[in-house]
Amino acid sequence: MSALPLLAALLCFQVSMAEPVGVSVQRLGDLRVARELRAPATVLSANRTVVTSEVTALIEKIHADVGASVKKGAILVQLDSDNARLSLEQARAILTSLDARIVQAKHRLDRALELLEKDFISDDELIGRRTDVAVLQANRQGQLVAIQVAELTLARTKIRAPFDATVVKRQAQVGNFAQPGTQLLTLVQTDRREVDVELDPRYADEIPQVTKLRYVSQGHEYPVRVLRLSNVIETDTRRVRVRLEFTDEEAPIGSSGEVVWAESTGVVPVTLIVQRGSVFGVFVAENNKAVFVEIATAQEGRPGALDMPNDTLIVSRGHIRLQDGDELAIASE
């Protein structure tokens, strides 16, 4: 028997002996497991404000010192109000005088109208008296504005908290002379705080839809939700900045921790991922044949995300010994 027929016979014998590999398969949708994702986060106050004087006055009393907690509207600093009060009284006195002069001017105008009917007064004189009334009424309107300004100046001698806050710094001293813009106290808002997160841009579209988003710090979890999501990738960190708000209990301002959530698509368990050559992937059953599908992001010992339909059949048993293209004998579950 010649060599060529013998070689052909051996090849046919080997092919006939290549039995299908017995495996089990499962839908990808049934295999996906949720993977926890994490991002560093810090709790910040929504506002950190330096309270300043709006008027010129002597600092008379400071009601809230460093460490004090204050409610919105509480008096923080009392400025000397004597000058402001006197200015208001003077403005009101001028208004009273104007009202008396207006009464007199209207009376003179009425008298002029009576005399005009008897031709005892000229048209020019009548116009002059009407002008007197109009000027005095305009002055009265201006004086009403002056009273409002004086009232506002008096009110501003009491510096009030713009929100619930804690005093973290005191810049003013009793007896100092304050002018508009003089810094008095620094406040950190306590009734509104936010979680600042630097997020990998890959998750920017996903995180607003996450239902169980939480901030974790020192072993304690706080439920949060997305408040604002920047659409700009910061050049120095290559991250997207996200602000979250607490939905229930709030963590202390200044605390550091992590924002934790489960990846919405899920990942393939590490037990199903095999290495062939230098790449990692899974075996998919297509037409009773094994097809090796690479998972580009997979790493040894870690699960990987597979972007395929949920009804894709993944070889879940017997995949360790498979090679791409092997015939499969799929066991019924």
State yes or no: pLDDT of 100 exceeds 90.
Answer: yes
User: What total number of domains does the chain contain?
Assistant: 4
Q: Are residues 210 and 97 in the same domain?
A: no
For residues 41 and 90, state if they share a domain.
Answer: no
In whole angstroms, what is the distance from residue 213 CA to residue 131 CA? 72
The CA-based angle 296-259-34, given to 5 degrees, is 45
Q: What is the DSSP letter of 176?
A: P
Contacts of 294-297 with CB under 8 Å at 24 or more apart are: 295/268
Q: Give me the pLDDT at residue 264, please.
A: 62
pLDDT at 262: 81
pLDDT of residue 330: 87
Report the predicted TM-score, pTM, of the whole model to 2 decimal places: 0.64
pLDDT at 5: 55
Are 87 and 151 within one domain?
yes
Residue that terminates a domain, selected from 262, 284, 299: 262
Please provide residue 162's backbone torsions phi and psi, each rounded to the nearest 5 degrees.
-75, -15
Question: What are the pLDDT digits (tens) for 151-194?
Answer: 999 999 999 999 999 999 999 999 999 999 999 999 999 999 99
Q: pLDDT tens digit string along 114-130?
A: 776 666 777 778 788 88
Judge whether 214 lies within some domain: yes
- Residue 145 pLDDT > 90, yes or no? yes
**Cβ contact 68:127 at 8 Å:** no
- How large is the average pLDDT for residues 37-41? 91
Tell me what percent of the residues of the chain surpass a pLDDT of 70: 92
pLDDT average, residue stretch 240-245: 94
Q: What is the pLDDT of residue 119?
A: 67
- Same domain? For 57 and 177 the reply is yes
Task: Look at residue 15 in the predicted model and tell me its pLDDT.
Answer: 44
Mean pLDDT score, 279-286: 92
Are 73 and 164 in a shared domain? yes
Q: What is the pLDDT of residue 332?
A: 63
Cβ-based neighbours of 170, under 8 Å, separated by 6 or more: 62, 65, 66, 184, 185, 186
The residue that leads in pLDDT, 32 or 186, is 186
Tell me: do 114 and 211 sit in the same domain: no
Residue 266 pLDDT grade (very low, low, confident, very high; cuts 50, 70, 90): low
Query: Is the predicted pLDDT of residue 13 greater than 50, yes or no?
Result: no
For residues 26 and 149, membership in a common domain is answered with no
Task: Judge if 254 and 279 occupy the same domain.
Answer: no
- The pLDDT assigned to 10 comes to 46
The mean of the pLDDT values for the chain is 88
What residues make up the domain containing 250?
A: 36-46+192-262
Q: Tell me the pLDDT tens digit for each residue of 283-332.
A: 999 999 999 999 877 777 777 778 788 888 999 898 898 999 999 988 86
Residues 128 and 228 in one domain: no
Q: Coil, strand or helix: which one is 23?
A: strand
Residue 13 falls inside a structural domain? no
- Whether 255 and 303 map to the same domain: the answer is no
Range 248-263 average pLDDT: 92
Is the pLDDT at 133 greater than 80? The verdict is yes
